C-alpha cells in the first residue's frame, strides 16, 4: 500500500473555537481506538465538560455488503448477511430468508418455524449478554465483563449442539432450517435456562442494584418518547423510551403468535431504562425457550424452495436483538437479487447517539453511548 495521506488525529484535541454565546468550545475526536469497544468515531464538541455537539463518524467497518449481495446467489449470500452482527447472526439471517420466502411464496413447516424461533431467542440472549459484558468494560466493572461472557458460553454450547457452529450458524435457509433438534436437547435447554435465570438475579445484585451503576445511569442520556419515534429508533432503545413496539407482537412471525411472552418497556428513556429492558428481554427469552422445547410440533423441518428469486418486491423484517432488521428486496427472476437494501437495528439507532449525548457531561458519555447497544459492524454493514 502506498503511503496514505495524513489522516485526522485520533483521540486528540482538534481545535478550540468560540461559540455564538462567547464560550470557548473544544472539539474532541473519540475513537476509533478508545478504551471501550467498537470501531466507531465520535466527534464531540464540549463546552467545559458539557457536550454541545456530537457528530458520529461511522464507516470503519463498511464492507459494501449491499453490493456483494447483488453479485451473489441468494443462498451464498447467507454467510455474508450474518457477518454484520455476528453475535446476533440468526436474527439477521431470519430477515433475509423471510423476505426471500415472501417473494417466492414458500410456506415454512411449523416445526421449522419453531426451530427458527428457538435459535432466534437463544441468539437474543447471547447478544444481550455480549452487550452487557461490553457495558462492564465501558463502566470499568470487570466482574460484569467476565460473568456475562462466561454465561454466554452456556447458550453458545446449546447453539453448537443444534447447528454445528459457535456463533455463525447459517442455520436458516429458504423453506426451513438445516438440521433437526439433536437428542437430549430439550432437557439440556431447560437445565441451562433455569440456571441462567438464577444467574440473572445475581447480576441484579452485583450490577443493576449497585449504586456504582445506578448513580451513573439513572437520568443520564435521556431520550424522550417523541424524539425516539421521530428519529426512527427501534428495539430496546425505543422500548426504553416507553413505546411498547415490538415486531414479535405487532407483526407476529414464525412461532411467536403461539408463545406466551411480554414486551418490556420503561417510561423514563434514560440509560438505566434501556439497560433494564435488555435484562427483562433475557428473562422473557428464557421463558420462550422453555415453551418452545415443550410445545414444538413434530413434522418436517424444511420445505423445498426454489433457488431462484422470482420477479417481485418484498419488505421482510424481524425483531433482532438490536431492533428491527429489514430487507427491501427486489427480485428480477434470476438467482441474484436486483437490489437488496439492508437496514439493521444499529443503523437505525445511530440517529439517537447525538440525541442521547447532547447536554450530558463528557464523563457520562460511555454510559449513555453504550446503553443504545450500538454495534458498529451492524450499522456500517
Partner 1 sequence: MSAQRTAQEEDPVATLAEGLSIWVGKLSDLVKKVVDTGPIRNVINWARMYSLWPVNITTACCSAEFGAASGARHDLERFGVLPIGSLRQSDLIVIEGTITKKMAKRLRMIYDQMALPRYVIAMGDCAMSGGLFHDSYSIVNGAHEFVPVDVYVPGCPPRPEALEQAIIMLQEKIRRSKVYEQG
Partner 2 sequence: MSLSHEREDGLIQKLKENFPSDIKETNVIRRARLEVTVAPERIKDVAIFLRDKLGFDHPNGVSAVDYNRENRFEIVYHISSIRIKEMRDLVLDLKESVPRNAPKVGSLVSVWSGVENYERESFEMFGIIFDGHPRLEKLFLTDNWDGPPPLRKDIRFPTD
Q: What does the binding site for partner 1 look like in residue numbers (CB under 8 A)?
A: 1, 4, 7, 10, 32-39, 59-65, 67-68, 71, 79-80, 83-87, 130, 133-134, 145-153, 156, 166-168, 377
**Which of 68, 125, 140 has the alpha carbon at shortest distance from 287?**
125
Among partner 1, partner 2, none, what does residue 35 contact (CB within 5–8 Å per kind)? partner 1
Among partner 1, partner 2, none, what does residue 163 contact (CB within 5–8 Å per kind)? none
Contact 155, 126 (CB under 8 A): yes
Supply the minimum distance, in Å, between the C-beta of residue 171 and partner 1.
Answer: 16
Using the rule CB under 8 A, which residue among 153, 157, 202, 250 binds partner 2? Answer: 250
Using the rule CB under 8 A, which residue among 156, 330, 358, 362 binds partner 2? Answer: 330
Among partner 1, partner 2, none, what does residue 292 contact (CB within 5–8 Å per kind)? none
Supply the minimum distance, in Å, between the C-beta of residue 355 and partner 1.
Answer: 25
Residue closer to partner 2 by CB (options 274, 317) is 317
Residue closer to partner 2 by CB (options 17, 251) is 251
Using the rule CB under 8 A, which residue among 14, 17, 49, 66 binds partner 2? Answer: 66
Piece in contact with partner 2 (CB under 8 A), picked from 121-129, 138-146, 238-246, 260-268:
238-246
Query: Which grid coordinates are listed for 252?
Result: 407476529
Q: Is 315 in the site for partner 2 (CB under 8 A)?
A: yes
What character string, x for contact with partner 2 (CB under 8 A) and - otherwise, covers 145-184?
----------------------------------------
Q: Is 232 in the site for partner 2 (CB under 8 A)?
A: yes
Among partner 2, partner 1, none, what does residue 149 contact (CB within 5–8 Å per kind)? partner 1
Q: Is 343 in the site for partner 2 (CB under 8 A)?
A: yes
Supply the minimum distance, in Å, between the C-beta of residue 87 and partner 1.
Answer: 5
Per-residue H/E/C for the chain: CCCCCCCCCCCCEEEEEECCCCCEEEEEEECCCCCCCCCCEEEEEEECCEEEEEEEECCCCCCCHHHHHHCCCCCCHHHHHHHHHHHHHHHHHHHHHHHHHHHHCCCCCHHHHHHHHHHHHHHHHHHHHHHHHHHHHHHCCHHHHHHHHHHHHHHHHHHHHHHCCCCCCCCEECCEECCCCCCCHHHHHHHHHHHHHHHHHHHHHHHHCCHHHHHHHCCCCCCCHHHHHHCCCCCHHHHCCCCCCCHHHHCCCCCHHHCCCCCCCCCCCCHHHHHHHHHHHHHHHHHHHHHHHHHCCCCCCECCCCCCCCCEEEEEEEEECCEEEEEEEEECCCCCEEEEEEECHHHHHCCHHHHHHCCCEHHHHHHHHHHCCCCHHHHHC
**Cis peptide, bond prior to residue 61, ω within 30 of zero:** no
Residue closer to partner 2 by CB (options 195, 315) is 315
Q: Is 106 in the site for partner 2 (CB under 8 A)?
A: no
Query: Which grid coordinates are listed for 343?
Result: 437496514
Residue closer to partner 2 by CB (options 137, 330) is 330
Q: Is 62 in the site for partner 2 (CB under 8 A)?
A: yes
CA distance 344 to 272: 23
For 40, how many CA atoms within 13 A lie in the half-sphere containing its CB?
A: 25
Piece in contact with partner 2 (CB under 8 A), picked from 111-119, 169-177, 260-268, 308-316:
308-316
Supply the minimum distance, in Å, between the C-beta of residue 66 and partner 2.
Answer: 6
- Can you give the binding site for partner 2, defined by CB under 8 A? 4-5, 7-8, 58-59, 62, 64, 66-67, 102, 229-233, 238, 243, 245, 247, 250-251, 313-315, 317, 324, 326, 328, 330, 338-339, 341, 343, 347-348, 350-351, 380
Amino acid at each position: 500500500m502506498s503511503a496514505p495521506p495524513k489522516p485526522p488525529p485520533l483521540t486528540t484535541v482538534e481545535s478550540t473555537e468560540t461559540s455564538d454565546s462567547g464560550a470557548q468550545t473544544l472539539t474532541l475526536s473519540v475513537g476509533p481506538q478508545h478504551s471501550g469497544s467498537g470501531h466507531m468515531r465520535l466527534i464531540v464538541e464540549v463546552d467545559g465538560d458539557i457536550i454541545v455537539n456530537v457528530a458520529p463518524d461511522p464507516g470503519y467497518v463498511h464492507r459494501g455488503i449491499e453490493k456483494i449481495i447483488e453479485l451473489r446467489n441468494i443462498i451464498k449470500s447467507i454467510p455474508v448477511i450474518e457477518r454484520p452482527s455476528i453475535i446476533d447472526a440468526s436474527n439477521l439471517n431470519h430477515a433475509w430468508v423471510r423476505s426471500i420466502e415472501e417473494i417466492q411464496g414458500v410456506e415454512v413447516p411449523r416445526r421449522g418455524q419453531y426451530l427458527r424461533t428457538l435459535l432466534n431467542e437463544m441468539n437474543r440472549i447471547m447478544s444481550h449478554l455480549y452487550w452487557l459484558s461490553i457495558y462492564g468494560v465501558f463502566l470499568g466493572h470487570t466482574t460484569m465483563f467476565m460473568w456475562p461472557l462466561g454465561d454466554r458460553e452456556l447458550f453458545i454450547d446449546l447453539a453448537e449442539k443444534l447447528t454445528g457452529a459457535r456463533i455463525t450458524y447459517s442455520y436458516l435457509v429458504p423453506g426451513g432450517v438445516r438440521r433437526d433438534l439433536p437428542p437430549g436437547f430439550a432437557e439440556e435447554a431447560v437445565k441451562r435456562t433455569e440456571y441462567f435465570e438464577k444467574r440473572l438475579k445475581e447480576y441484579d445484585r452485583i450490577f443493576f442494584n449497585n449504586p456504582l451503576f445506578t448513580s451513573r445511569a439513572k437520568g443520564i442520556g435521556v431520550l424522550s418518547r417523541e424524539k425516539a419515534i421521530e428519529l426512527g429508533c427501534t428495539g430496546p432503545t425505543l422500548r426504553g423510551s416507553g413505546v411498547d413496539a415490538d415486531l414479535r407482537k405487532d407483526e407476529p412471525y414464525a412461532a411467536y403468535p403461539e408463545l406466551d411472552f411480554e414486551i418490556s418497556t420503561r417510561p423514563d428513556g434514560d440509560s438505566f431504562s434501556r439497560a433494564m429492558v435488555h435484562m427483562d428481554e433475557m428473562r422473557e427469552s428464557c421463558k420462550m425457550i422453555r415453551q418452545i422445547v415443550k410445545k414444538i410440533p413434530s413434522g418436517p423441518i424444511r420445505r423445498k424452495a426454489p433457488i431462484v428469486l422470482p420477479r417481485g418486491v418484498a419488505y421482510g423484517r424481524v425483531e433482532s436483538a438490536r431492533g428491527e432488521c429489514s430487507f427491501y428486496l427486489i427480485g428480477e427472476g434470476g438467482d441474484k437479487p436486483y437490489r437488496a437494501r439492508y437496514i439493521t437495528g444499529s443503523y437505525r439507532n445511530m440517529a439517537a447517539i447525538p440525541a442521547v449525548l447532547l447536554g450530558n457531561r463528557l464523563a457520562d458519555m460511555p454510559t449513555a453511548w453504550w446503553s443504545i447497544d450500538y454495534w458498529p459492524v451492524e450499522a456500517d454493514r
